[in-house]
Amino acid sequence: MSTTLQTPNQQGLDIRSTPRADMNLYPLDTFAYEFPGKEIRINFEIPEFTCICPFSDFPDFAMIRLEYVPNERCVELKSLKLYINAFRDVKVFHEHVINMILEDFVTACDPLSVEIEGDFNVRGNIKTTIRASYRKAEVRSQESGVSKSA
């Protein structure tokens, strides 16, 4: 038995996210982690995240929490601030922005693992929290006891 999803946008609104190419996000800079192989956890709390709701054109506010274990590179904080603040003028859904930040972060510094949470403020009596994570393939293999032969 197949189910048919409801037609999106029952409200008849003109919903357009900012195209990725037009976002003008600041690039994430990195620096060498001088202790590869020594696992540390780095936590960031970003309490003033804002982006624009594609439905209403009103700002969305969130606390972004990001924790990562560096591999060979660490993210540079000023570039992270500039990158995050660039979302202020971007129309993007909560679910998409968290995945975009995760993808950009992984691309920039190739961490062993990263977890991100977007804790969005209440909007219209609904609280939204989005979580996403990434774990490097070699780390997953080691944790599951899979050995690699040369």
Give the active site residues.
53, 60
CA distances 136 to 62, 76, 111, 139, Å, are 27, 20, 7, 5
Cβ-proximal residues to 100 (8 Å cutoff; 6+ apart), any chain:
20, 92
User: CA-CA distance, 116 to 106, in Å (whole number)?
Assistant: 11
